A and B are shown apart, each in its own frame.
Chain A
Amino acid sequence: MLRFLFSRLATFFVTFVGVTLISFAFIRVIPGDPIIVMAGERGMSQERYEELSRQYGFDQPLLTQFWDYLTGVLQGDLGQSFVTKKPVWDEFFALFPATLELSLCAIILAIALGIPAGVIAAVNRGKFFDRALMSSALVGYSMPIFWWALLLIIVFSGNLGWTPVSGRMGLLYYFPTPTGFMLIDSLLSGQDGAFTSAIRHLILPTIVLATIPLAVIARQTRSAMLEVLSEDYIRTARAKGLKPWRINGLHALRNAMIPVITVIGLSVGTLLAGAILTETIFSWPGIGKWMVDSIFRRDYPVVQGGLLLVAVVVMIVNLIVDMLYGLINPRIRTRK
C-alpha cells in the first residue's frame, strides 16, 4: 500500500508540474501582447508598459518566468484579476464552496440512484426493468444538459412555478455565510424559510448536473455486475446456497464496485465541465460561471489561475479515488 501511495503521489506531482506548465503557457500563446490586451482600448504610455512588463515579469527569460510562476503557485500566488484587482486565489476560494455544494449534491444523487438502478438492471437482465432503466440511462447519457436545464426551467419554474429560475438563495434572506455551503449556512442563520429556499434553489441545478453522471454510473454498474455475475466465485457463492440478495448485493457488488469507483472518479471531470453550463444557465455563483465570465471579459489571469485550480481539484479527486480503489481492491492493498 505504501509503495502504491508513493507511486501515485509521484505521478501526481509530475502531472501537477505539467498542468502548471500548460496554464503558464496559456497567457503566452494568446495572440497579441497580454499587457496591451490588459490595457484594453484606452492604450497606455511607454513607461506604464515597461512598468507593467516588469511587474508581471515579462522582461525575464521564459525559464525564469516559469520558475517564478511555479514557486508563486506553490505559495498560493496566482496573480490578480485584471477586472476586480483581487487575487485570483481569493476569488477562487470565495466561489468554490458554491460549486462544491452543487457538485456534491449532484454526485450523491447520481450514486444513490445510479448504483441501485445498475444492480436492478443487471439482476433482471433482458427483462422489462432492465430495458426501461437502460433506455432512460441512454437518453440521460445523450442529453445536451444545457437544453435539459432550459426544459426543466420551462416546466418547473415557468409553467408550475415550483422552483426559482436562478441563484442560490431568495432575495428576502440575508445572513452571514461562514461555511459557504448555503444548506448549512441557512440552517445556522435560523431564519424561517431560508433552508427551504436553499433547497428549492438547489433542486433543478442538481438534477441537471447529476443527469450524465447518473446515466454513466448506472450503465457502468450494470455492465460491471453482468461481468462479475458470470465469474466463478459467484457460482461458488450460489453453490454455497447463499440468498440472492447476499450474492448480488455483497459478493457481486463488492467486486463490481471496483470499475464503478473509477467511473465515479472520472465523472468529477464531467461534473466540473457540466458545472460550467449549469452554473451559467442558473446564474449559480460558482467556479464555472466565474470562468465563463472571465473568458468573455478577457480577464486572463483569472482564466489562467482558474484553469490551473480546476485541474488541481480534478487531480486531487483522482488521487483520492485511486486511494479508495486501493482500499476496496485487496489485490492492490496487500501488494508489498
Chain B
Amino acid sequence: MTDMTEAAATAPKRPGRLAEFWQYFSENRGAVIGMWTFGILVLLALLADVIAPHSATEQFREATLQPPVWQEGGSWTFPLGTDPLGRDMLSRLLYGARFSFFVGMVVVVIAATGGILLGLVAGFAPKWLDTVIMRLMDIILSFPSLLLALVLVAILGPSLLNAMIAISVVLQPHYVRLTRAAVINERTRDYVVSARVAGAKLPRLMFITVLPNCLAPIIVQAALSFSNAILDVAALGFLGMGAQPPTPEWGTMLAEAREFILRAWWVVTLPGLAILITVLSINLMGDGLRDALDPKLKRS
C-alpha cells in the first residue's frame, strides 16, 4: 500500500474540481478575454461617479453634436463628443453601463429564482400539476419574447422597472424547462433514491440533494439570459417602451439619436458599440462556462 501512494505521488496529480473547472475555462481564450472585458466594464460602471467628466444629464448648449476628440472639431472636454442636446457622450455611456448591468442582474435574479422554484415543483409534483405548469410555460413561449414584453410594458406603463419585470416574465420559462428536465433526469438516480429511503423530506430532497446537481445548465442559462436581458431592455428603450429620456440607458440613447444618424455617426455608433461589447463579453464567458461545465463537450 505504501508503494502505491509513493508511486501515485510521482504520477501527475488529479486536479481538484474547481481547478479542473478553471483549467477548462481558461483553455478557452475567448472566455478569458470575455471575463476581463466584463470585469473592466463592471468596474467602469461602479466608478462612473469618479471617472465621468460630467453629469449624465447636464446639457452644454454651446457644444451640441460635438465630434469625438480625435476628429476635427473635437475637444478633450468631451472625449467621445456630445449628443444633440449637448450632453457628454462618455459620461452618458458610463452611467448607462450601470443601468445595463443593474437590469441584467435584477432580471436574472427574478427569472432564475422564479424559474428554478417552478421547475423544481414541476419536477417533483404529481403529473397534473407538472402538466399545468409546463403548459403555462408553453403558452408564454408561444409569444415572441420582445412582443410579449412590449405588450406587458404597454399594460404596466413604460418605465425601466416595468421593462425589467416584463423581461423577467418572458425569460422565466427557459429556467423552468431546464430545471425540470434536469430534476427529472436526476430524480431516478440512485443517490436521490437512497436519500429518499434514508428519510429526507421533500424540501431537503429538492434543494439540498437534487438542486446542486442540476446547477450546471442553469448557470449557463443565467449567463445567456443576462445578455438577453441587456439586449431586450435596450430594444424596449429603443422603441420608447423602456427607460424614458433623459435616462442615459443605451437603447434610449440610440432612439434619441436616430434622426442624426447621417450627420453625427458617434451618437449612434457609440451606444450600440457599448451594447455589443457588453453582450459579447457576457456571451464569451457563457460559452466558456458551458464548455467547462458540460462534460459532454469535454475532450475525452
Contact A310 B143 (CB under 8 A): yes
26 contacting pairs across A/B (C-beta < 8 A): A15-B135, A18-B135, A18-B138, A18-B139, A29-B155, A31-B155, A138-B284, A138-B287, A139-B276, A142-B231, A146-B254, A150-B261, A151-B268, A154-B268, A269-B141, A272-B144, A273-B146, A274-B146, A277-B238, A277-B239, A295-B241, A307-B143, A307-B148, A310-B147, A314-B142, A314-B144
Contact A276 B150 (CB under 8 A): yes
Q: How near does chain B come to A95, taking the closest CB pair, in angstroms? A: 15
Q: Is the interface of B mostly helix, strand, loop or mixed?
A: helix
Contact B275 A144 (CB under 8 A): yes
CB contact between B147 and one of A15, A142, A151, A276 (< 8 Å): that residue = A276
The answer to the question of B235 belonging to the interface, with a C-beta cut-off of 8 Å to chain A, is yes
Contact A15 B139 (CB under 8 A): yes
Interface positions, chain B 43-94, Cβ under 8 Å from A, are none
Give bound CA distance, A183 to B275, whole Å: 35
The answer to the question of B283 belonging to the interface, with a C-beta cut-off of 8 Å to chain A, is yes
Q: Which residues of A contact B151 (CB under 8 A)?
A: 26, 295, 303, 307
User: B256-300 CB contact bits vs A (8 Å, 1 = yes)?
Assistant: 001001100100110110011001101110010000000011000
User: A161-199 CB contact bits vs B (8 Å, 1 = yes)?
Assistant: 000000000000000000000000000000000000000
Contact B235 A291 (CB under 8 A): no
Given A18-B139, A144-B234, A151-B269, A295-B154 contact (CB < 8 Å): yes
Looking at B143, B150, B271, B276, which has the most chain A CB atoms within 10 Å of its CB? Answer: B143
Contact B135 A14 (CB under 8 A): yes
Size band of the A side of the interface?
35 or more
Interface positions, chain B 111-165, Cβ under 8 Å from A, are 135-136, 138-139, 141-148, 150-151, 154-155, 157
Looking at B136, B144, B227, B265, which has the most chain A CB atoms within 10 Å of its CB? Answer: B144
Q: Which residues of B contact A144 (CB under 8 A)?
A: 231, 234-235, 251, 272, 275-276, 279
CB-based closest 8 A-B pairs: A147-B272, A273-B146, A273-B144, A18-B139, A142-B279, A142-B280, A272-B144, A311-B142
Q: How near does chain A come to B249, taking the closest CB pair, in angstroms? A: 12
Give bound CA distance, A102 to B272, whole Å: 24
CB contact between A141 and one of B147, B262, B268, B283 (< 8 Å): that residue = B283
The answer to the question of A221 belonging to the interface, with a C-beta cut-off of 8 Å to chain B, is no
Give bound CA distance, A276 to B145, whole Å: 11
Q: Which residues of B contact A318 (CB under 8 A)?
A: 142
Q: Which residues of B contact A291 (CB under 8 A)?
A: 147, 150
Looking at A22, A153, A223, which has the most chain B CB atoms within 10 Å of its CB? Answer: A22
Q: Which residues of B contact A214 (CB under 8 A)?
A: none
Give bound CA distance, A153 to B258, whole Å: 11
User: A44-67 CB contact bits vs B (8 Å, 1 = yes)?
Assistant: 000000000000000000000000
Q: Which residues of A contact B154 (CB under 8 A)?
A: 295, 303
Contact B254 A273 (CB under 8 A): no
Give bound CA distance, A257 to B4, whole Å: 49
Q: Which residues of A contact B231 (CB under 8 A)?
A: 142, 144
Contact A226 B235 (CB under 8 A): no
Give bound CA distance, A334 to B289, whole Å: 38
CB contact between B142 and one of A19, A30, A226 (< 8 Å): that residue = A19
Q: Which residues of B contact A274 (CB under 8 A)?
A: 146
Nearest A residue to B271, CB-CB: A147
**With A146-B234, A315-B142 given, can you name 6 additional A-B contacts, CB distance below 8 Å?**
A29-B155, A147-B268, A273-B146, A276-B144, A295-B241, A310-B147
Contact A292 B235 (CB under 8 A): no
Size band of the B side of the interface?
35 or more
The answer to the question of A143 belonging to the interface, with a C-beta cut-off of 8 Å to chain B, is yes
Q: Which residues of B contact A314 (CB under 8 A)?
A: 142-144
Looking at B146, B148, B296, which has the most chain A CB atoms within 10 Å of its CB? Answer: B146
Give bound CA distance, A276 to B139, whole Å: 20
The answer to the question of A270 belonging to the interface, with a C-beta cut-off of 8 Å to chain B, is yes
Give bound CA distance, A143 to B279, whole Å: 8
CB contact between A311 and one of B143, B251, B258, B265 (< 8 Å): that residue = B143
The answer to the question of A68 belonging to the interface, with a C-beta cut-off of 8 Å to chain B, is no
Give bound CA distance, A151 to B269, whole Å: 7
The answer to the question of A158 belonging to the interface, with a C-beta cut-off of 8 Å to chain B, is yes
Q: Which residues of A contact B241 (CB under 8 A)?
A: 295
User: A121-157 CB contact bits vs B (8 Å, 1 = yes)?
Assistant: 0000000000000010011011110111011011000
Q: Which residues of A contact B275 (CB under 8 A)?
A: 144, 147
Given A144-B235, A310-B144, A292-B284 contact (CB < 8 Å): no
Q: Which residues of A contact B30 (CB under 8 A)?
A: 135, 138
The answer to the question of A227 belonging to the interface, with a C-beta cut-off of 8 Å to chain B, is yes
